[in-house]
Structure 1
Amino acid sequence: MIPLLPDLLFTRGALLWALLLVPIVVLLPARFGTAAVRPAARWLRGAVLLLLIITLAGPLAATGTAEATTVFVVDRSHSVGPGASDSINRWVAETLGAAGTGEQAAVVTFGADPTLAAPAQPATTIDDGWQSVTAGDPNREVTDLASALALSRSLPVGEGRRIVLLSDGAENAGRAIEQANQAAAEGVPIDVLPVPSAGDGDLRVEAVTGPSAVWSGDDLTVLANLATGAGGEVTLELVVDGVVAHRQAVTLQPGASAYSLTAPKLPPGFHAVEVRVAGTPELDRVAQNNQAALAVVVRDEPRLLLVVPEGADSTRLHTAFTSGGAAVTVVLPAAVPLRLSELSAYDSIVLDNVPAWTLSTDQQRALVERTRAGGSLIVVGGAASYGPGGYAGTPLESALPVTVKVTDGTQRPRVALLLVIDKSGSMSYDPGGGTVSKIDMAREAVRQAAAALAPGDQVGVIAFNDEPRWLLTMTTLEGEGDSERTNGAVAQLTADGGTELYPAMQVGYDAMRNVPADVRHIVLISDGKSQSGSTESYQRLVSDVGNDNITLSTIAIGDDADTELLQSLATAGHGRYHQAVIAEDIPRLTLEEARSAGSQSVLRGAFQPVQQTASPILSGIPPQELPPLEGYDFAESRPDAQTVLTSDRGDPVLATWQLGLGRVVAWTADGGGDFAAQWEAWPRYDEFWGNALRWSLPDPTNSAVRFAAERRGADVVVTLDAVTANGDTIDLSGATVAITAPDGTLVTEQTPVSAAPGRSEVRLPSLAAGAY
């Protein structure tokens, strides 16, 4: 810096030698204008040249007295490359050497921390020793302009001062503008000599982004943003915990580019993930900007609660979820926890063909609330789920992306309901000792079941004792006159004779297999044991019933009924088994079956699922690879749902949606064996259900305590926000925060200090770059 006047300095003083040209320009004769104006033109020409030279020389206006001290603030961070640092050294040395007599100067160098490299003294007495002061700074990855300016303002340098800042301005800690404002308020001028950044045009990793947490078994994918001033081939590495997990050669074009890198599945725990890039010396002049890192926590395997009805086989689903990395617990519906706190122990809950009536209203509400609070719910269909399972109007249905209610009458399935009723002599009394006979309740059951169906549906009644007899052949309901026909049929229902179940079942099957309907359902009501029919014959008959897409439910009356046979028939017939303890139970259970058949349907018949929209659940699975299905529970998608797969009729087979903070998957086919037999044998079955689970799982980064880190001056401040999902603050006064370095060693353990309700802080000394 060369002083020309007591209050004027120049940053490029060598240009002032050009002032010698000014007299020459003034003396050169002017070619234009009259003789009277030519002298003035020569002087004006000289004045313009004088101003141009002074401007190019970089004048710095000084303030204060002659004793004012100039504080040179020199950026020593790695963002200033070696070449720029050498230029700064030469410039400061030349300026100090050219200082006038009595002019004071000081030098402050900085990276993460400011250092007084040369205290205030006569400028000409400062030697080059200040240049090596910052060389030993352990953390030159940081550019803290604010701290350096604060130190410069606080130096005891006499009556006045001025600050000359030499930096690339790549501030990544503190707020320099605040210090500049304070300096201005104090009357301290700050002149800036910008220097080029080492990263300008250099090959560098600008950022690495990725999840802060993943589930155990998930792939970890990060995005690396690279930049370079010139194109060329470079080597890109993904380093996990200090070990190269992936290396590839890429050819970069000038400018910015991004690459996705995937690490192998990592064990639970903390992992330091780093991206490194290296190129030729022409591309890569500065090594310090060749890497960027992030910290990733791998959570333990997700905990899954698989709920299955009694007697059901969920082995295939269990295997699929286990192979997908979940820790599976299997329970009966009665064992589903009622308390939200107990359900929160599970990350995902799967209902596999579970009827709604096997879950209490409180259990259903708890399931819904757990999902809303950030849980995962997967509902798998079947002959006892959705509509057949009585979901309509329940709290459970409200959580689903589909509804079992049919709002469009043109789409309502045609239903055929056949009641096969035992009229043997034992039906003449009440098993509970009441005054109402079972046969009376059977008559009422017929009336209520017929009334629950809609016009266009069909109903029929077979009564049997020693032999079957049609009381009402399969009749299409028309609305008017239906009750008269039904009353006429049940008037013939009297109790006498023995119990021959098998022939009645055969007659009913023979009639139903020829009935044109979408839903064909038989309800068998009996209080005794059949006098004929072997186990094998029943198995063959029910197998035929299932092959013709007919379902069978059974109602056992009292303790004398053949409960084992009736239960096995319902299971094999893909229906439901009920037991009526008293006669009054018969109409209620029969009505339940009629409503189940009439309000929804199990639509049977092979079809190819149609993909309607992209979904992570089908990621990597081409639509043409999806196996056919043999049936599904009839439902409709809600307006806000994402319908991923549909039937050939357009009905939802796979639908998803967001419920509060949680996610729900609705699969209206079953898990295999009936509707999805070919899916069960599909090689990608486990992958499909694993994808469904992964999509629905809560965000692994969700935590009651969230961490954030920022630099404040030379320190790093870790902020902890501790708030529950309900918005309640958490007291962390007794907590301990442990900070580990990228190599896994413990940096410090501290008790957080409260900064605000729900917020605490931990302050750390300056840290080197890396994933902590």
Structure 2
Amino acid sequence: MWQYQLSFDHPWYLALLIVLPLMWWFSFRSLAGLGSVRRAVAITLRTLVFALIILALAEVNLVRTSDRLTVIFLLDQSLSIPADRREAMIDYTNRAIEQYREENNKTGVIVFGREAAIEIPPFDDDIQVPQAIESTLDPEYTNLASALKLAQASFPEDAAKRIVVISDGNQNVGDALEQAGIMADSGIGIDVVPVFYQSRSEVSVEKVSTPADVRTGQPFDVRVVLNNSAEPTAEDNGEVQGTLRITRSVEGRPQTVTDQPITLPPGKHVLTVRQELDQPSFYTFEARFLPEDRDDDRMSQNNRATNFTYIRGSGQVLFIEDHLHRGEFDLLVDRLRLQELEVTVRPTNQLFTNLAELQPYDTVILANVPRELFTDEQIDMLVRNTEQMGSGIIMLGGPNSYGAGGWTNTELEKAMPLDFQIRNPKVVPKGALALLMHASEIAKGNYWQNVIAREAIKALGPQDYCGLLHWGALGEEWLWLGQSGHGMIPIGPNRDKMLARLSRMTPGDMPDFNPSLIMARKAFNQLPDAAIRHMIVISDGDPTPPTAGVVTGLINAKVTVTTVAVGSHGPAGHVELQKLATATGGKYYKVNQAKALPKIFQREARRVARPLIFENPDGFNVAIRYPHEMISGIDEPIPPLTGFVMTTVKANPLVEVELVAEVSEDEANNSILASWTYGAGRAVCFTSDAGARWANSWTNWDGYDKFFSQMVRWSMRPVGQQGNYSLSTDVESGKVRVVVTALDKEDEFLNFLDLSGAVVGPDMQPLPLRLDQTAPGRYIGEFDATDAGNYFITLSPGAGQAPIRAGVNVPYSAEFRDRTTDEPLLEMLAGMEPVGGERGLVIESGTSGQMDDALASWLATDVFRPGLAKAESSQGIWYLLVFVASCLFFGDVLIRRVSMSLTWVPPLVAKARDRLLGRETAPAATQYMDRLKSSKVQVSERIEKQRAAVRFEPSEEAASSTEVYEELPEAVEKKPPPKPATGGIEQPQAEEEGYTSRLLKAKKKVWEDRKQD
């Protein structure tokens, strides 16, 4: 399974090993004094140290080679592949794994559409893919490149790598060839299994072609391109019958242009409808094909297409007013119409739903409308319509406008020349808002609690206070705390902290209202500088109602309480919530749909922002601060006003403040009229109203009509001479190609124009567009359009000229446009030769077209076959060699510098051997005592034998001598004295006396030595 070998990063260092013989020669002579054994050991150690250092310098690596193989299957789950083919792909994957995977080989599955996801990670087992794919994908696109990239990142390092792509190859996002080249360089092989479709009819509406812009009353053609991809056979000529319906929409109101039956033979066909329109506007044309027999049309997603045409006229104004206060600005609308401005009034309950509905208008006026009546998407459309499409936008003041209307921290605030917050606390009194969250039984209750809390915090200014009470682990508690110990803290430095805490909030089921309301009242009482004190309670009415004393305390603290009843705990709890709101001067809401909650909280948060309104019944003067086109011909004195919404001038040199209110020295917050250029459009802020409340004295002013008409005209998109420009668009391969032909009044080509363009996509995000001149009077550019939807184009020909506007619709993804297998792409993927391996295979599916035959053909190829570079893992071990060399070097120094006996080595080796073999050895002390006892017995036996031979009883002196002998150390030789020569005559007595005398002499010598010591 595993094979090991060594490799070197710098092998030329190994040449230093030739120095070893020279080192041996010098060491043999210089170490001669150590003796033969020590010298041999020292030279051996020195040789090892030198060799290890050389190997470390060469950076030796331990290379491990594996025979394992990992195969990852990539399954195309896009909608261009029929459902039966997708099921067959999963069946093939399961059977191929079961049939060919060997032990220790891994396999995994990745599914892909617009994005890729790991369905089953690489695993050492016979995995089986379920027919119902669990991963969530966008099936309207094919991004094969992302699947290849994810597979490369998913491979383990200890195996050879192969990918099996099962797809039709119709990629419309990403570049699979580029990614496959990267994988081939990494040694990854690619097999492909082309998925073919059964031959059947397919009709698609490929394009609706209209002129980009047309003059009023000018005839033009609407061309519809249809394609029948059926292949005629002997049994069927491939014709498809159905109905072509063309509709025209303006401001969201559709009208039928034609509804005719048609018969489409195979191939492409162009149908033309003549049109002539007198009403200037932005028109949307849609063509839809409806087949009589659904079996004649495999995919319905590609049966419609859309395009836009702009009918030019004089400038138009969209006037948006609050549907709850309709008619408040009728005077201003009538005066603007008298100034020959085309004004369309639309209430907030009939707002636009897409960017196309805003295109007929050259400026949009928001007349005292609150933020909660607009969705985030609609606000984004207003901003993009100004920034990219060049339309103007005007915001008129009133109690529901600017910061007082909840527009703080919105995208619209970014587009206006004034900030809707007052950052100077000396100018505007502070407000305080407390939120009380109670767990509710509405769908996604915790999610909506977070949403509404965020909206409330966003509506407050930086000088305002905010706190949030909820039922947590410790009971009633503040979600965040300030230095004062309670949770009412200023928004300015803590906004990010508050929003971060909200994401972790999980309100519990609060049992009683009293503790939370008491905590809130105490916190309000510690904020003497809070001029507005408001509280919002959201609950299902289940907690114990507040007592009369608690409610009285809130009233005395001047806290208004708004209650929001949600959930289903019956009317009793809701009645208590209504009583609390009525007693404190707040409002009561009963909510059945969770989506209504954010607007309620936005509306209630505006109560805290009321101090932004400055009112003086006696009136105040208005002064001109900057001469501007909007106030051209307007002379002082200007009639006084009685109120306006305070704002802050943006710190931007492009902002121009034309009028200010003379109410304080700080003119940064007293702006009445301000303007700037935002992107391709213009934005204007007028912080007072137009006569209904604060500008009553202006209604009889001679300059009223002139002032407001000049304001509107300055903000409008240029509507002057457009010149002879023609614009066409074409959608192909996920890109929109824009072609502009420019002519002058004499129909001569206009060259070297600096055509700047802006595009807004379906997601309201800007897209880059660059136009380059490619021929006389001809300019071409393109931008990516991979997402289906509307794309709006605005081109600026130059100063003083009206912009060129056009729209193009991508009705459906290219996924539904490609109806044949991209065999060349799949063959090129398989043809990539991996480093160290063989090219992949194109696994054919047979010729019968039947799924069973295709499966049999696919399974004839072993995708787990060898032929790829074996997986290698390399690890440097030079540092280990350096460590070993250091240890051996210590041994080399030790053996040369320290003289030691090696007699202990054999016993140690023997002892180690005995332990390894399991032999029992007696302790050393026991063996020593046994030898002493044995010696004593032997000496005693010898003495007894000698006594018996001479029949001699030893005297006391002899006995003592024997005791001395027994006490002599081992150094004294313990053996009987030699017999003297007697000429063959035995003389035992003399022998005994000689032996005894020697013992006495030895005893005397021992005592004398002791005395000397």
Same fold (TM over 0.5): no
TM-score scaled by length of structure 2: 0.29
Query: Hey, which of these two has a bigger chunk of helix by percent?
Result: 2
Taking CA–CA contacts closer than 8 Å with sequence separation of 6 or more, which of the two structures ends up with the larger relative contact order? 2
The two structures have a TM-score, normalised by structure 1, of 0.37
Q: Which has the larger radius of gyration?
A: 2
